[in-house]
Amino acid sequence: MHKIYLERRCMIICSPWEQALSDPNSIEFHLGNNPDGITALVTMFETSETLARIFIPTDEVDATYKAFCSRFKEVNAAGGLVSNRREDVLLISRNGLWDLPKGHQEAGEDIKVTALREVQEETGVGELELRDLICITDHCYKRDGIWHLKHTWWYDMLYTDPVNLTPQRDEDITKAAWVARSGLSPYLKNTYPSIVPWSILRIRITINTLVQRKPIIQLSQCLIKRPCPPPLGLY
């Protein structure tokens, strides 16, 4: 299954036997063999705000996803779910929504370096311990009349030293804050839906795991995982 977000809505490429398709409120879109069907789908989704989710059932999930990606200008980004020894989670506030720190991959840059650099730039923290790749999320947006598809690599990170957080205001980040896991609920209600399912799963890490600095076991088979991309050129 592949989920591609457009703001707070989602297009889901899945097998014809996906259980969610039994939902009577779900909307199915069959692409067939017409590549222009992808453009028609995105246009329909863009113009109809009442469509929250569209399922695209297919026997060739990965091939359909690849064809879908080819119709966009693809962009890579990376960020982190950062925890400290108290199990607090590092959040940023940008454009009125709470988010996890992330940003675009620079030319020739390894995606892991991107993740560390962006977290440091957007929050002011340093000396991060990079841990497992959690998942990769996709979302599309239109800029200057061109549709982009952003693939964001999310890494688990641990920060152990105290620091005064410094939000990157030239990136419209107004606040960076450590939030206790017990108090995350109101923040997750005012964030991007693409990060909510996996972040909720991931923050169920015990304090013993964090203190012992052991590799974290992957928590769910539903998380989409792909190999790290080669360094990109400018985009």
| 59-74 pLDDT tens trace | 999 999 998 899 899 9
Q: Which amino acid is at 61?
A: V
Distance CA 155, CA 163 (A): 21
109 within 8 A of 231, measured Cβ to Cβ: yes
5 within 8 A of 48, measured Cβ to Cβ: no
Same domain, 204 and 88: yes
- Does residue 166 have a pLDDT over 90? no
At 150 the three-state DSSP class reads strand
At 200 the three-state DSSP class reads helix
Output the pLDDT for position 232: 46
What mean pLDDT do residues 207-224 have?
34
What mean pLDDT do residues 14-43 have?
76
Q: Which of the four pLDDT bands, split at 50, 70 and 90, describes residue 199?
A: low
Same domain, 64 and 101: no
Same domain, 61 and 120: no
- What's the pLDDT tens digit per position in 78-115? 999 998 888 888 998 888 888 899 999 999 999 999 99
- Does residue 161 have a pLDDT over 90? no
89 within 8 A of 61, measured Cβ to Cβ: no
156 within 8 A of 134, measured Cβ to Cβ: yes
At 231 the three-state DSSP class reads coil
Supply the range of the domain harboring residue 47. Answer: 2-70
Output the pLDDT for position 21: 65
Share of the chain above pLDDT 70, in %: 77
106: tokens are 């620079």
Count up the domains in the chain and report the number: 2
- Does residue 212 have a pLDDT over 60? no
Output the pLDDT for position 223: 35
130: tokens are 């990079």
Q: What is the CB neighbour count within 10 angstroms for residue 183?
A: 10
Same domain, 155 and 105: yes
Q: Which of the four pLDDT bands, split at 50, 70 and 90, describes residue 226?
A: very low
Tell me the helix, strand and coil percentages in the chain, rounded to 5: 25, 35, 40
Same domain, 111 and 183: yes
Which conformational region is residue 185 in: left (phi greater than 0), alpha (psi within -120 to 50 degrees), or beta? Answer: alpha
Distance CA 221, CA 218 (A): 8
Same domain, 92 and 122: yes
221 in a domain, yes or no? no
pTM for the whole structure: 0.78
Same domain, 24 and 130: no
